[in-house]
Structure 1
Amino acid sequence: MAERIGLVEATVKAHGDFAGGQSVPGLQPFLHDAHLSLAAPSLCASGPDGALRGGADGFYHGDRRVLSRLEAAVEAVPVVPIGAATGPEGDVVFRAVLRGLAEQTPDPAVVLERSRAVSPGRLTERYTVRNAGGRTARLRLSLSAASDLATMEQVKSGRPAAPVSPRTGPGEARWSDGAISGTLTLNPGPDEQLTGPDGTVTMAYLIEVPPGTTWHAELRCDAEHRDGDLFPAPPKATRWWSAPEVTGPDRRLAHWISRSDRDLFRLVLSDPLQPEDVFLAAGAPWYLTLFGRDALWSARMLLPLGTDVAAGTLRTLARRQGTAHVPATEEQPGKILHEVRRDEPAPDGTTSLPPSYYGTADATPLWLILLYDAWRWGMPESEVAALLPHAEAALNWMEHCADADGDGFLEYADSSGAGLSNQGWKDSSDGIRFRDGRPALAPIALSEVQAYAHEAAVKAAALLDAFARPGGEQWRRWAEGLRERFRTHFWTEDDTGPYPAVALDRDKRRVDSVASNMGHLLGTGLLGPEESARVAGRLTDAGDTADGGMDSGFGLRTLDASSAGFNALGYHTGSVWPHDTAIAVHGLARAGRAEAAGRLATGLLGAAEQFGYRLPELFAGYSRDRQSRPAPYPASCRPQAWAAASSVLVLQSLFGLEADVPARRLRHATRVPSGFEGLRVRHLRIGGRHFDVSADAEGRVEVHGLAGFTLVPVHATGW
C-alpha cells in the first residue's frame, strides 16, 4: 500500500511543480492565478485546480499557515481540471473530469467536484464524485495533507518552514507548535490512512459510484491560536454599511460595486479590546491585519454608505495611539501606528518589524481627516466628542514631532535602523526617487503628506470650533503657513511646465520625478485653482507615445513612463494602484475637473471588468494602447480593502457628493461626467438616513429622499 500511495504522490508533485511554478526558494510567491477564499482572519489560497501545493498556497489563520498541502488524486486516472466557479457567499467549486472512467461515448462521464468554504478559523471542503455515465465507476480517491505552520513573513519571503510532523488518529491529523494548532478531520472516515516520512498524511477512499449517482465526503480543518486571535472576526455578522443598488446603461460600475461589497464584508475584523468596533483588514493574503493608513483610507471611502466602519477604525487606532518616544518602534506621543502583527520570529531567527510599528508619516493626519469627514457624514456627535482628546494629541504630534528639523514640513526617517526606509504609502525602498532614477535619501518630506497635514489642520480647526475647544484659529494659521511654504519649496518645472515635486530630500532638494502622489494634493486645499489645473493636466496626460505619460488607460501609473526609473511592473515605480487613481478621481472632482475625473474613472472600470470586478492591490502599468487587457502584478493582494472600497469613492466622485450633516446640507454636482448619463444609485446613507441619486439622459443630477436637507448643486468649477 505504501508503494501505491508514494507513486500517486510523486506524480501529483511533479504536476504541481510544473503547473504552479511558484516554489522558488528566496523569491516572493506569485498570486496572479490563485483562487482565494476569505473570511478574515482566515483565508485559503490555491492553484486554479483547487490544490494546495507550495508557493503561497495554503489555509491560513491569523498570519499562520495551517495547511501547506492539500491535494486530491485518483489512482491510475487522469484528473483534468475544467474550471472553478465562485458563489455569492465566497464558496468556490472546483471541477475536474476523471478521464476514461465509466465512459461509453467521447463525452466525459465522471466529474470530481471540490467545494470549498472558509469561515473564521475553519476550512471546509466537500468532495463529490458524480457519475453521469452508463457504467459503475470504481476508483481510489486519495487526499494528501501537510502543514509547515509557517508565518506569513516566511511564506512571503519564499523561505517557508520545514513540514511539521502530525499526531494522527483514524480520519484525523493534528499539527501544533504550542502557539497555533490545526486539526483536520474526514467524514466519513477513510478506508486507508498513511503518514509519510515527510509528515504528509494521505487518506484514501475505495469508491463505487453506480450510474446516475453521487458519492460525498467532507474534510474540515479547524485552526486555533493558543492565546486567541490578534484581531478576531466580529462577534456577529451584521451590516456595517448599506449595500448600494446601481443601475444604468453601463453595468460595469454595478458589477464592481457588488463584488467589492462582498469582498469588503469578508475583510472585516474587530478590536479585541472592544469587539463592537470593526475595521477593514488591508488585504489578503499578505496584509490580513490592522494597517493604519489602509484602514483609514478604506473607511473614508465607505462614508457614503455609513459611518460605522469609520467610527470603529478611529477608535481602534485611538486605543493604540502613541504615548511615548520609543525609537525601536518609532512610537511618538500622539502618533497613529502603521501596522500590528504577532510577535513572531522571522525566517533568519530575528524579528522583522516590531509587532506594533509606528513608522508612517501619513496615518496621523489621515486619522484627523477621517474624524472630520465621518462627523460630516453623520457620526454621532457624542462619539466624535469622545475622540477629540486623541485629535488634540495628533495635532500636537504634527507640530512637535513630525517636523524633526524645524523647517515647517512633515518628514520621516527610519530612527531604528531596521524599519521602513520610506514611510508614505509608497513605502518600498525604491518608491521615492529622482527623475534620473536616483533614490531620495531621508529625512524625506512627501508632497502628499503636506497635503494631508494641511487638510487635517483646517478640518481639525473646524472640529475644535464646533465643539467649543480652543486652538481653531492657531491651526488655520498653521495650515496657511504650510500652504505658502509648499508653494515656495515644492514646485519645480520641466519642458511641459510647472508641477509639484514628489518630495524634498535630506538636503531640501526637490525630488523631481513626475509621480501619482500629486493626485493626492487635489481637493485638500493645499493648491490654488491654477495649481490644481496644472496637476490635473499632468495626471491625464497620456504622453507623446503609446508608452508615455501618467495615464495608462486603465488608471494612473505611480511614476511617469518617461522617468529613468520607470518599470511597468515596479511596485511603486510604474504600476497602477486602483486606490491611488480613485483618490485622484475624487480630487479632480473636488477641484472642479469632472471630465478629467470621468476619464480616469472609465479607465478603472475597464480594468475592473478584466479582473472579474475584483481589482487587485496593483497591476502593471502597460499602456492600454499596446495591451487591451491589464497585466497583473504577480504578487499582488486580491482582494485589497482600499482597491475594493475605491468603487464607492469613484461613485461618490461621479455625483460630487459632499456631506454636512451638522448643517443639514448635501452638496452634489450638477452633472455627471460624460459617459455616465443615466446612472442611478439607491441606498446611500447620510446621518443614518437612506437617499438616492440619479443622472438623467443628459447627465443632470437629482437627489431623492432627503427632505429636511438643503441640497447645494455645485457646477464644475470647484466647490
Structure 2
Amino acid sequence: MDDAYNVQVTAGESQDVDGLEQMMALKEADTFVVADIWGDMKGGADGLFDRDTRLLSRFVMTAGLARPSRLSSGISQDNVFFTAHSTNRPLPPMGGRSAPAGVIHIERRRFVRDRRMFERVRMVNHGVEDVLLPVAFDFAADFADIFEVRGSPRGKRGTQEPPTADGRRVTFEYHGVDGKSRSSCLAFSEPPARLTASRAEFMFSLPKGRTCDLYIECGVGPCEAPDEARFRLYAVQARVAMRTRRRRGASIRGPRNPRFNDWLDQSRADVALLTTDLPTGPYPYAGVPWFSTPFGRDGIITAWQMLWLDPSLAKGVLTYLAARQATEFSAFQDSAPGKIMHETRAGEMSALGEVPFGLYYGGVDTTCLFVALAGAYLKRTGDLTTIRALWPNLLAAVGWMKDHGDINGDGLISYQRAAETGLSNQGWKDSEDSIFHRDGRFPKGPVALLEVQGYAFAAWEAMADMARLIGDERQAEWAARAGDTRALVEERFWMEDEQFYAIALDGDGKQCRSIGSNAGHLLFTGLPSRERARAVTKRMLGAEFRSGWGLRTLATGQARFNPMSYHNGSVWPHDTAMAAAGMAQYGERRAVALLLGEIYAAATHFEMRLPELFCGFERNPGEPPIAYPVACLPQAWAAGSVFLMLQAALGVRIDAIERVVEIDRPLLPSGIDRLNLNRLRVGEGEVDLTFQQIGADTVVMPRRRDGPVSVRTLG
C-alpha cells in the first residue's frame, strides 16, 4: 500500500504493535470496527469508524472493577459476528459476601449494520448463590480522521461539543474545519445506575442459574433504543447480506479435505466482507483497518483473481473507476485526463486537502490494469453491452497511456510524483525504499517499472481484442503498440548475465539491476518469450526467492533485502499468486501446485486468513511463518490469491464469446485428490465440473451442463 501510511504506522504505532497483532475487525459497507480480543477499544489504532471518521475511540468494559478473565474470542467464519467469552475475577463484597472468580460467564457478541455497531453483553450466573455484578463501560468519541489515527499531524482541528448524557444514551458532536458537523450516539437498553459523559455504571442482580442481557448500540446519531428485537432483526439482515455476497458466482470445494475447505470458505468470506455494494455495483475494498475504501489497483487485481468465479466484481470495479476517471490536470491529485483513480477517501483531512487522497490518481499502473481487466472481463462474459458503455473511458485511458504515461517519450510508461504530498513510488511496491539500483541507490525519475510495462502490453492487446468485437478500426494500431511494448521490454529490461529482468529503468534509461518479484507480474501478462520465461521461473523457484511460505518480494543478497520490511524481502500472497499464474501460462503447472501448497501451509498458521503480507524468513521445520506486525487483516487481494492460484493449477480458461471452458493439463495441489467446481456460468450456459486425481493424472469430469456451453480438454 501507500508508503506514507506504512512509514507512519510503523513509527507512530510501534508501542502498540503487540496489540495490533491481536486486533479483531468487522466491516459492513463504509463502517468498520477494530477492537482487541476482549472487544475493547482503547483510543490507539482501534475504534468504530464510519466513512474515514472515528465515531467511538474508547470503549472498555469492566466487571467487578476489573477486566474479566478471557476464555476465548474470535470472528465467525462468515465474518458477521465477533464474540468474546470471559468470566469474572473475584467480585468485591456486596452485603458482606463476595462471589469467587469463575462463576459468571460473560459473552460479548457484536456485529456492524446500517452504519452502527450492535452489541449484546450476556451475563449468566453459574454459581450456587445470587450475585450482584457491577459492570462499567468507559467510552469516548474523538472524531479523528483516519489519517490522524495513522499518525499524520494536524495544525488545526474542529470544535468538539461536550458529550450530553440523557438517561440511557450519550450523544457526541463535532464541528469540523470543513464546515460539516458529525455526530455519534452510544445507547444502552438498561438505564445505568450512573451515567456521565465518559462512563456508564450498572449493577446487575443475577440470581443463581439466571441470565441477564444488556444491549448496546453505537453509530451515526441519533440513536434508537436498543433492545432484543432490534438486535435480532439487524443480526439477521447482516447475516443474509453477507450470505448473498458469499454466494455470488461459482463455488469451488474439496470434499475430502476439511482444512482446505476452511481456507476456501474463509477466503471467500473475506472477499465478501470487504466487498461493498455501491450504486455502480460490488466493489472489493482493499483491507481493514487502514484501507477500507476503494483502491484502484487493489480492486482491479482482486476482481481479476475472482473473475473466473464471479465476474460481477470486475463489472462493479470497472464501472466505478470509469465514473471517477480524471478529466483534468492536478499536481496535488497527480491526475491527468484519462487516468484511473488510485484511491478515494471521505474524511475531513481529505476534504480539506490536508492529504491528497480524497480523489488521488498517483498510481502509475492502475490505468493500464483498468484496460487489461476490461479485456479479460469481455472474454470471460461476452458482455459487449458493458464494454460499449465503457468504450469512451477505455479510449481516454489509452489516450493517457500514450500522451501522459509515456513521460520520457520512449514508449514506456513511467512515473514521477507531481507534488511532494504524493507518493514517491507509484507501483504496487509503493514504499519509499522499494525501487533501487543494485548498490542500493534510489533512482532519479521518471522511473519505468518492469511490471507496469507488462500491464501496458496487456492493455494494448486487450484494446485490440475488444476493438475487433466492437468494430473499431484502430485494432491494428493497438496490436502494433502491444508488439512495440514487448520488443522494448525484451531489449531494455533483460539482463543477460543475470538471466532475469531489471526491476526498473531510471530517468536516464539505466537499468535498476535489483532482482525482485516484479518479474512474476510480467509473466502474468504473457509478455516474455518462452525461453526467458523459463529462465525467470527457474530463478524465482530457487532459494533466493522461495521462503518455503511463498515467494519473497526481493531476492536474498540484494542491497536492501530485509525479510521484515514492507516490500524488500517480505512475502505478499497476491504477489506469489500472480507469479504462479504467470508461470502457468508458460506450462509450469507443477510450479503452481508447489507454490499453492506453500501459501496454504502459511494460511494454516494464520487461522486460514492470509494477511496482507508476512515476513520472508526461511521456513524451518516445526516453526510457523513470522507475522508482519501491522499487516491488514483481512485484505482483499490476499484473500483472492487462493482462487487465482487454483485457476492456474487447474488450467481453467473461459471464453464466453466462444461459449467454451478449456481445461489445460490440470494439476491438483498436494494432498487434494478432488475438487468440485459448481455453478460456473458461461454466457447463457452453466456447468458443474469435478477434478479428480487418478494415479499420477488429474482428470476433469463434467457433472452437469445447462445451455450452450462446451468443455474442452487440452494436452
* Same topology, TM > 0.5: yes
Assess, with a 3 A threshold, how the Cα gap between structure 1 residues 413 and 652 changes in structure 2: closer, same or farther.
same
For 2:481, the equivalent position in structure 1 comes to 478
Assess, with a 3 A threshold, how the Cα gap between structure 1 residues 243 and 658 changes in structure 2: closer, same or farther.
closer
For 1:311, the equivalent position in structure 2 comes to 315
Within the candidate set 85, 90, 94, 1:100 is matched to 90
1:101-500 to 2 correspondence within 5 Å? 101=91, 108-157=102-151, 165-178=162-175, 179-195=181-197, 201-223=198-220, 238-239=244-245, 241-242=248-249, 244-271=251-278, 275-342=279-346, 344-345=348-349, 351-494=354-497, 497-500=498-501
| Secondary structure of residue in 2 paired with 1:305 | coil
For 1:513, the equivalent position in structure 2 comes to 514
Within the candidate set 559, 568, 584, 1:573 is matched to 568
TM-fit CA distance, 1:242: 2.4
Q: Amino acid of the residue matched to residue 393 of structure 2?
A: H
**Contact 2:371/2:463 (CA < 8 Å) preserved in 1?**
yes
| Secondary structure of residue in 2 paired with 1:265 | helix
State the percentage of identical aligned residues: 31
Q: Amino acid of the residue matched to residue 339 of structure 2?
A: K
Assess, with a 3 A threshold, how the Cα gap between structure 1 residues 24 and 458 changes in structure 2: closer, same or farther.
closer
Q: Deviations over 1:413-447 (max 9, x none)?
A: 00123211111111111111223322223211011
**How far apart, CA to CA, are the structure 2 residues paired with 1:302 and 1:688?**
19
Moved more, 312-321 or 35-44: 35-44
Assess, with a 3 A threshold, how the Cα gap between structure 1 residues 401 and 701 changes in structure 2: closer, same or farther.
farther
**How far apart, CA to CA, are the structure 2 residues paired with 1:487 and 1:59?**
50
Q: Amino acid of the residue matched to residue 193 of structure 2?
A: D
**Contact 1:557/1:576 (CA < 8 Å) preserved in 2?**
yes
TM-fit CA distance, 1:113: 1.4
| Secondary structure of residue in 2 paired with 1:453 | helix
For 2:28, the equivalent position in structure 1 comes to 39
**How far apart, CA to CA, are the structure 1 residues paired with 2:624 and 2:220?**
39
Q: Deviations over 1:607-658 (max 9, x none)?
A: 1111111111111111112772111111111111111111221221121111
Moved more, 385-394 or 499-508: 385-394
Q: Amino acid of the residue matched to residue 120 of structure 2?
A: R
TM-fit CA distance, 1:192: 1.2
1:635-654 to 2 correspondence within 5 Å? 635-654=630-649
TM-fit CA distance, 1:343: 5.7
TM-fit CA distance, 1:75: 3.2
TM-fit CA distance, 1:23: 12
For 2:673, the equivalent position in structure 1 comes to 677
**How far apart, CA to CA, are the structure 1 residues paired with 2:621 and 2:559?**
20
For 1:64, the equivalent position in structure 2 comes to 53
**Contact 1:72/1:143 (CA < 8 Å) preserved in 2?**
yes
**How far apart, CA to CA, are the structure 1 residues paired with 2:428 and 2:551?**
15
Assess, with a 3 A threshold, how the Cα gap between structure 1 residues 703 and 344 changes in structure 2: closer, same or farther.
farther
**Contact 2:185/2:220 (CA < 8 Å) preserved in 1?**
yes
| Secondary structure of residue in 1 paired with 2:196 | strand
**Contact 2:51/2:347 (CA < 8 Å) preserved in 1?**
no
For 2:613, the equivalent position in structure 1 comes to 618
Q: Amino acid of the residue matched to residue 267 of structure 2?
A: S
Q: Structure 2 unaligned segments of length 5 or more: list them.
A: 1-8, 176-180, 223-237
TM-fit CA distance, 1:387: 1.1
TM-fit CA distance, 1:493: 4.4
- How many residue pairs end up in the alignment? 670
TM-fit CA distance, 1:564: 2.0
**How far apart, CA to CA, are the structure 2 residues paired with 1:280 and 1:571?**
22
Moved more, 382-391 or 26-35: 26-35
Assess, with a 3 A threshold, how the Cα gap between structure 1 residues 368 and 346 changes in structure 2: closer, same or farther.
closer
**How far apart, CA to CA, are the structure 1 residues paired with 2:122 and 2:315?**
44
**How far apart, CA to CA, are the structure 1 residues paired with 2:100 and 2:684?**
60
Moved more, 160-169 or 336-345: 160-169
Assess, with a 3 A threshold, how the Cα gap between structure 1 residues 83 and 367 changes in structure 2: closer, same or farther.
same
TM-fit CA distance, 1:392: 1.5
Q: Amino acid of the residue matched to residue 600 of structure 1?
A: L
Q: Deviations over 1:332-359 (max 9, x none)?
A: 1211111111262389x97122411111
For 1:597, the equivalent position in structure 2 comes to 592
For 1:14, the equivalent position in structure 2 comes to none
For 2:225, the equivalent position in structure 1 comes to none
| TM-score, normalised relative to structure 2 | 0.89
**Contact 2:382/2:657 (CA < 8 Å) preserved in 1?**
no
Q: Amino acid of the residue matched to residue 106 of structure 2?
A: L
**How far apart, CA to CA, are the structure 2 residues paired with 1:431 and 1:451?**
19
Q: Deviations over 1:174-202 (max 9, x none)?
A: 1121332111100111111123xxxxx11
Q: Amino acid of the residue matched to residue 166 of structure 1?
A: P
TM-fit CA distance, 1:576: 0.9
**How far apart, CA to CA, are the structure 2 residues paired with 1:632 and 1:697?**
34
**How far apart, CA to CA, are the structure 2 residues paired with 1:164 and 1:531?**
64
TM-fit CA distance, 1:574: 1.1
**Contact 1:296/1:367 (CA < 8 Å) preserved in 2?**
yes
Assess, with a 3 A threshold, how the Cα gap between structure 1 residues 425 and 690 changes in structure 2: closer, same or farther.
same
Q: Deviations over 1:638-685 (max 9, x none)?
A: 111111111221221121111111111222122315514323332333
TM-fit CA distance, 1:317: 0.6
**Contact 1:75/1:139 (CA < 8 Å) preserved in 2?**
yes
Q: Deviations over 1:242-292 (max 9, x none)?
A: 261401444443212211222222222244xxx152211111111111111
Q: Amino acid of the residue matched to residue 342 of structure 2?
A: H
Matched, 1:709 2:706: no
Q: Deviations over 1:70-126 (max 9, x none)?
A: 011123456211110332442111111112359999983212211111124110111
**How far apart, CA to CA, are the structure 2 residues paired with 1:224 and 1:587?**
49
| Secondary structure of residue in 1 paired with 2:405 | coil
For 2:234, the equivalent position in structure 1 comes to none
Q: Amino acid of the residue matched to residue 449 of structure 2?
A: L
Matched, 1:534 2:535: yes
**How far apart, CA to CA, are the structure 1 residues paired with 2:122 and 2:10?**
29
Assess, with a 3 A threshold, how the Cα gap between structure 1 residues 712 and 407 changes in structure 2: closer, same or farther.
same
For 1:667, the equivalent position in structure 2 comes to 662
**How far apart, CA to CA, are the structure 2 residues paired with 1:105 and 1:221?**
31
**How far apart, CA to CA, are the structure 1 residues paired with 2:488 and 2:681?**
38
TM-fit CA distance, 1:713: 2.5
| TM-score, normalised relative to structure 1 | 0.88
The root-mean-square deviation of aligned C-alpha atoms, in Å, is 2.7
| Secondary structure of residue in 2 paired with 1:418 | coil
TM-fit CA distance, 1:29: 5.3
**Contact 1:369/1:455 (CA < 8 Å) preserved in 2?**
yes
